[in-house]
Every structure is written in C-alpha cells, then in structure tokens.
Chains A and B, each alone.
Chain A
Amino acid sequence: MSTTDTHSTTLPDWFTARRDAARLRFEATPAPKRNDEAWRFSNLSQLDFAGFTSNSGQAPATDHLIARSTGIGSTAAKLVFVNDTLVHSETTRLPAGIICLPLAEALVSHPDLVEQHFMKQETRLGSAKYAAWHEAMVANGLFVHVADHVEVADPIEVHHWIAGGNTGIFPHTLVVTGRSSKVRVIDIFRSAADLEPGLAIAFNDLSAGENSTLDYIAIQAFNEVTRMIQIHETSAARDASAKAFILNTGASWARNESMSRLEGPGARSDMLAVSIPAREQEYDQRTFQHHVSEGACSDLLYKNSLYDNAKTVFSGLIFVDEGAHHTDAYQTCRNLLMSDTAEANSMPGLEINADQVKCSHGSTSAQISDEEIFYLCARGIDPVSARQLIARGFSVEVVERIGNEAAEELVLRFVDDKFARIAGGGA
C-alpha cells in the first residue's frame, strides 16, 4: 500500500494491489501495432495519449454542469461526475434491496461485493493495455447491486463530464442483478466545453443474474477533440436478458469493445449501437458474442450513418463453444453512406463449434436510394430534409429496440441534436 496515496487508508487491499499490478501491466504491455488483427483498419495514431492528466478529486466549478445534466424526467437515482469526482447525487427514490453508490464509496462500504464482480473477464478484443490503464487509474463510477426479485422501475442515470483541457477520466460502471431482478442504467458522457481536448478510458462490468433483466445505455456525446475507449463486459446467466445500447455522436475518435458471454440456457444478449459520425470523426467497434452455454440467444445490430469524411470500423465475432448446442446468434452491421468520401469497414465473423445452431451474420453498406428520396420529395419535402428524415429513420429502427419510451426519447434527443449540427454545417 502506498503511503502517499490519500485514498489508500480506506480502500481495500485487494483493490490497491490490483491497481499497482495493473500499472505494471499497462507499462509492460506493448501498444497495438499495425499488424494486430484486433486493430485492423484502426487509426493507431489516435492511441498517443501523451499529455493527458487525471484531475480526479479536483472538479472545477460545477453548478452549471449539474444544471446541464438533464436526462429523462423520472429516475430512480441520478449521479453527476465531473472528472470522475461525484458532484451531485440523488438516491432517495431507490427501492429497498438495491445498492446504488459511487464506486469510490462502494469500494469502502462493500469491498467484497465489488471484488466479486470487478473486472473479472480477460479483455480480448485488443485493448488489454488500456483495460490495465483503466484498472490502474480508476477512481470512481457507478456501482449497482440489485437484490433478488427487486425491480427498479425508473432508470439510474449517470452523467460523466470532462472539464478542463487535456483531462483524462477513467469511469467504471459495475452493475450486478440478482435473480429475477430488473434495472436499467444510463451513462451519458459529455464535455464541459467544445474545444477542450479530453480522454475517457471507460469500462463496464454488467453481470445479469438468473432470470434478471439488465438494460444498459451509453450515450457518448463528447466534444470533437475528445477520444474514448469504452470496454463493455457483459455476462448473462440462465434466462437472463442483458441489453446494451451504445450511441456515438461525439468524440474525434471512439473505440467500443463489447463482449457478451452467454452463460446459461435461456440467456439473451441484445447488443445494439447507433453511430452518427460526421466530418473527420472515426468510430472503431469490436464485438464478441461468446456462447458458452447451450440454448442461449444473442442478437447484435449496429448501424452507422456516415457523413463527410467519417470513418467506421466494425469487426464482430460470434463464437459458439463446443457443447453450446441450440444457440441462436445473429449479427448485423449496416452502414448508411451519406457522402462519397465516408469510409465504412465491416468484418463480420463466425466460429461455430456446436451442433444445431442458428447463426447469421452480415453487413451492408448503402446510400439512400433515389426512389426513397423521390417519394419523400414528391410529397413536398425538400431533398435535404428528406435525406435527414431517412437517415434518422435508419437510426430509429435500432433506438426502438431499447423498449422504453423515456429512454428512447432521451437517446433521440442526442440523435436529433447531432443531425441538427450536421444540417447546420457543424458536427
């Protein structure tokens, strides 16, 4: 334990030990190279993170950020972090049987519970080095533990702000649902100012217990000089449903690595994403649907609408373990090219080691068809608005799978905001 660390007098030993080990691992792990399969088509120059500092514990004046932290109307709890520092918390509406705390607090009050679930999976989609960095730096985030049979009706909403230039954050979201319980968590990532470069290395542990329903939404709406790596580790036990939805509208570069493990029969994982890159934005998405158990279902739908010189990479793998019979696994990536200079790369993949499986994977890239435009224009809608309506519709199809009106409205607010900026010439 380091004596210079002011937190370490209260943090559990396991955590500080892992933090120290992670720091060494981060330093020892080489940076991704051009010929790494997990970084194929990636822009590796985005991985130079020199000059960023974590300002955790030193949130600047935050009243205006708290005021701007509006999400859905009715929440079970709402937390606001600025530079990984909790600046606002509303938790009085939580039902009994749920622990919902800032991670920094949970580490102290429920160390064993956190340890049971904290970063248990090996990061396999390319960012092991950055997962180690996250583990070495993580200071805060959300911890949710829902007891058996407890249902949380309204979502838990967490706002993550980056404030100040060259600031890095390392937010962690850890959600555990007990048997037959239900919860929905929404993370919203934003920048305090438009022109301040930021960095976020975020990590999610989502563990859906037997017959539970765990819905997660990440809204990434950083400014366009911020970069983000977000790693999602999801596991679904027998008859559990884990649904994760990611929206990317912000950041200059964002990489999402999403891993879902289907661990029991009847488990279901929905992996959904909508990305709307414009100008020079780049989104790099890697997914892994891991069928460990027989009789489980995973369904992935990622949609990208690319404007200007935007670039996307999608690489997905469905992996069915030996013995994971009667698997249903689907993977679809669709790209809507809104300009001639946008670039969408898709690499769908499938590896099946079991029998009687239903799997499909595919990706498409297309422009809006002339017939669709003609149809809308023939109703008096101008061509620019027509393209906008169609592109919005393309995204809406995924958003509607969230299955909660308030959450869908919130996501569409960010979607519409992005389209308005594209229409306005900004991004």
Chain B
Amino acid sequence: MSLSIQNLHATLEDGTEILKGVSLDVPTGQVHAIMGPNGSGKSTLSKVIAGHEGYVVTGGSVTLEGEDVLAMSIDERSRAGVFLAFQYPAEVPGVSNANFIRAALQARLPEGVEIDAVAFYKSLYERMDLLEMDRKFTGRAVNEGFSGGEKKRNEILQMMMLEPRYCILDETDSGLDIDALKIVAKGVNSMRGPDRGFLLITHYQRLLDHITPDVLHVMAGGRIVRTGGPELAQELEAHGYDFLKEAALA
C-alpha cells in the first residue's frame, strides 16, 4: 500500500525541465519529509502529483495502490485519496468554508446520497476545536481575508475532514508563528496511523521538530539526492544545503 513515484520527469509549459527523475515511495503508516533548497522542485512535485495543469509530465509514473494517478483528472485524484495542502491556498469569494468542505465531502458520496448536516457540523466543529479555529470560519468565504496562518490551519481542517489516504503538505510551515506551527503539527499528528501516509515538503527543519518523520529525503536539482532517517535533518541544519548541491553535481 503506497503512493509510488518512479523516475518522474516534468517540465513547465515552456519546456523547462523541473523534475528530472524523482523516485519516492510513501507507504501507508509512514511520514516522509522532503527538504531542499528553493528551486529544487519540491513544490512542483506536489503540484504534479495533484494534477496541476501548468506542468507537463514527460516521463515516469505516479501510482496509488497500483492505480495510475497520472491518468486521473484532478478531482479523481482527490477522490482516490490524495490530498494536497497548498502552500498558497486560493481564495474563493462568496463560498462559505462550511459549504466548500461539504461540497468536497458530497463529491465522495454516491449520487442521491446526501450528507447528514447535523453529523457534518458536529465533526467540523470537533476538528476546528482541535485546530483552535473560531466557529466564525465556517461562515466566512473560503480563505478570503484569512491571515497566512489561518489559511494553513484551514488546509489542515480540510485534510482532517476529507480523511485522505495520502496527505501531501507543501510548505505548510512557511509563514506560521511557533504557536500556529504547533497547532498544525497537532492536527497532522492526530491523523497519523497505519492506514495513512504523509509527504511533508518543507524548507526548514523546525516543522520536523514537531512532526517526526520516519524517512527524510533531500531534493536538489529536480532529484532526490539523499534519503535517510530523521537524523539527516540535524546534518542539514549543521551544514546547510550547499554540500548537497555539490553532491548532486558530482
């Protein structure tokens, strides 16, 4: 049971190659983290997995329990169990947060089956309480006027509500103060379990102080250049990314 990425190549629409053969296997029950300098292709990897149309996959594969993810539409990938917590979540004016999440849940139900509204709100409020989100966020338009931290919490809220099998968090820690970071980590940690896999993308080590990964990958120049245990983070913290770049070129 895994989200498996094999020799993935992807370019921008203008042909610039960003991913140059990424291979990575995230089994359920594990938390993997990807660290790497700016421009290494970390965020691109997450968007390509989610199906962003700004990238062209030129080679390799992404499979989910053996199913070809790249053949699926964006919404099919989500319903199949892949969740991307965005680095920069879009604002959707006029659509309340509660209605948005409800529509996303509704999309997972068979035709003619309606969500039970009472149960929905109960579950929504429980998770909002855990994330220390004010109830007013249910009625507010999705991400509109939210602070950076509120947007990130809102991503985690959606993730908790949709209960995906694989969660990809793209720089969820950026722009968060330490208290917000702890709350986000609490949300993620509450979801860890044998049936779920995580891929955390981050630039800094501090997220990993609160969510301990099982496996840490270092990405540079569009490839995974090193894979190790959590102790690899300490090494990066001590030496920075430069030596890895050299390693990648060597």
Q: Which residues of A contact B (CB under 8 A)?
A: 369-372, 374-383, 385-386, 389-390, 392-397, 400
Contact B94 A377 (CB under 8 A): no
Cβ contact of B73, chosen from A372, A377, A393, A396, cutoff 8 A: A377
Sample of 9 A–B contacts (CB below 8 Å): A369-B90, A374-B53, A375-B86, A378-B51, A379-B103, A380-B79, A381-B104, A382-B75, A389-B92
Query: Which residues does chain A contribute within 8 Å of B98, judged by CB atoms?
Result: none
Cα separation A257 to B84 with both chains bound (whole Å): 48
Query: Which residues does chain B contribute within 8 Å of A372, judged by CB atoms?
Result: 90-92
What is the distance, in angstroms, from A327's C-beta to the closest C-beta of chain B? 28
Interface-central residue, B74, B84, B99, B108, by most chain A CB under 10 Å: B74
Query: Which residues does chain B contribute within 8 Å of A376, judged by CB atoms?
Result: 92, 100, 103-104
What is the distance, in angstroms, from B231's C-beta to the closest C-beta of chain A? 33
Contact A380 B104 (CB under 8 A): yes
- Among residues of B, the one whose C-beta sits closest to the C-beta of A380 is B78
Known: A389-B100, A392-B95. A381 touches B89 (CB 8 A): no
Contact A374 B75 (CB under 8 A): no
Contact B75 A383 (CB under 8 A): yes
Query: Which residues does chain B contribute within 8 Å of A381, judged by CB atoms?
Result: 75, 103-104, 107
B162 contacts partner chain A, Cβ-Cβ < 8 Å: yes
Query: Which residues does chain B contribute within 8 Å of A385, judged by CB atoms?
Result: 103, 107
Query: Which residues does chain A contribute within 8 Å of B89, judged by CB atoms?
Result: 375
Cα separation A164 to B84 with both chains bound (whole Å): 55
Q: Which residues of B contact A (CB under 8 A)?
A: 50-53, 73-75, 77-79, 84, 86, 89-95, 99-101, 103-104, 107-108, 141, 158, 162
Known: A370-B53, A393-B141. A382 touches B107 (CB 8 A): yes
Query: Which residues does chain A contribute within 8 Å of B100, judged by CB atoms?
Result: 376, 379, 389
Cα separation A400 to B93 with both chains bound (whole Å): 12
Contact B95 A378 (CB under 8 A): no
Query: Which residues does chain B contribute within 8 Å of A378, judged by CB atoms?
Result: 50-51, 74-75, 77-78, 84, 86
Query: Which residues does chain B contribute within 8 Å of A392, judged by CB atoms?
Result: 94-95
Contact B92 A375 (CB under 8 A): yes
6 other contacts beyond A372-B91, A377-B74, with CB at 8 A cut-off?
A374-B50, A374-B53, A380-B107, A381-B75, A385-B107, A392-B95
Cα separation A386 to B86 with both chains bound (whole Å): 17
Cα separation A66 to B75 with both chains bound (whole Å): 44
What is the distance, in angstroms, from B159's C-beta to the closest C-beta of chain A? 10
Cα separation A244 to B83 with both chains bound (whole Å): 43
Cα separation A34 to B16 with both chains bound (whole Å): 52
- Among residues of A, the one whose C-beta sits closest to the C-beta of B159 is A379
- Among residues of A, the one whose C-beta sits closest to the C-beta of B104 is A379
Cα separation A389 to B94 with both chains bound (whole Å): 9
Contact A395 B94 (CB under 8 A): yes
What is the distance, in angstroms, from B25's C-beta to the closest C-beta of chain A? 22
Cα separation A393 to B103 with both chains bound (whole Å): 13
What is the distance, in angstroms, from A375's C-beta to the closest C-beta of chain B? 4
What is the distance, in angstroms, from B115's C-beta to the closest C-beta of chain A? 13
Cα separation A379 to B99 with both chains bound (whole Å): 13
Cα separation A300 to B78 with both chains bound (whole Å): 40
Contact B78 A393 (CB under 8 A): no
- Among residues of B, the one whose C-beta sits closest to the C-beta of A384 is B75
Cβ contact of B103, chosen from A375, A389, A395, A397, cutoff 8 A: A389
Query: Which residues does chain A contribute within 8 Å of B91, judged by CB atoms?
Result: 372
Contact A394 B162 (CB under 8 A): no
What is the distance, in angstroms, from B106's C-beta to the closest C-beta of chain A? 9
Query: Which residues does chain B contribute within 8 Å of A380, judged by CB atoms?
Result: 75, 78-79, 104, 107-108, 162
- Among residues of A, the one whose C-beta sits closest to the C-beta of B108 is A380
Contact B75 A377 (CB under 8 A): yes
Query: Which residues does chain A contribute within 8 Å of B50, judged by CB atoms?
Result: 374, 378
Cα separation A396 to B100 with both chains bound (whole Å): 14
- Among residues of B, the one whose C-beta sits closest to the C-beta of A391 is B94
Query: Which residues does chain A contribute within 8 Å of B107, judged by CB atoms?
Result: 379-382, 385
- Among residues of B, the one whose C-beta sits closest to the C-beta of A376 is B92
Cα separation A385 to B104 with both chains bound (whole Å): 10
Contact B95 A396 (CB under 8 A): yes
Cα separation A133 to B79 with both chains bound (whole Å): 58
What is the distance, in angstroms, from A333's C-beta to the closest C-beta of chain B? 16
Contact A397 B94 (CB under 8 A): yes
Cα separation A382 to B86 with both chains bound (whole Å): 18
Query: Which residues does chain A contribute within 8 Å of B84, judged by CB atoms?
Result: 378
Cα separation A370 to B91 with both chains bound (whole Å): 12
Cα separation A378 to B50 with both chains bound (whole Å): 7
Cα separation A371 to B50 with both chains bound (whole Å): 13
Cα separation A392 to B89 with both chains bound (whole Å): 20
- Among residues of A, the one whose C-beta sits closest to the C-beta of B94 is A393
Contact A379 B78 (CB under 8 A): yes
Contact B90 A396 (CB under 8 A): no
What is the distance, in angstroms, from A415's C-beta to the closest C-beta of chain B? 11
Cβ contact of B94, chosen from A371, A386, A394, cutoff 8 A: A394
Query: Which residues does chain B contribute within 8 Å of A383, judged by CB atoms?
Result: 73-75
Cα separation A400 to B104 with both chains bound (whole Å): 23
What is the distance, in angstroms, from B92's C-beta to the closest C-beta of chain A? 6
Cα separation A379 to B73 with both chains bound (whole Å): 12
What is the distance, in angstroms, from B105's C-beta to the closest C-beta of chain A? 8
Cα separation A400 to B77 with both chains bound (whole Å): 34
Query: Which residues does chain A contribute within 8 Å of B86, judged by CB atoms?
Result: 375, 378
What is the distance, in angstroms, from B62's C-beta to the closest C-beta of chain A? 15
- Among residues of A, the one whose C-beta sits closest to the C-beta of B47 is A374
Cβ-closest 8 pairs across A and B = A393-B94, A380-B78, A375-B90, A377-B74, A393-B95, A396-B94, A379-B104, A397-B94
Known: A378-B84, A383-B75. A397 touches B53 (CB 8 A): no
Cα separation A377 to B93 with both chains bound (whole Å): 16
Known: A370-B53, A374-B53, A385-B107. A379 touches B158 (CB 8 A): yes
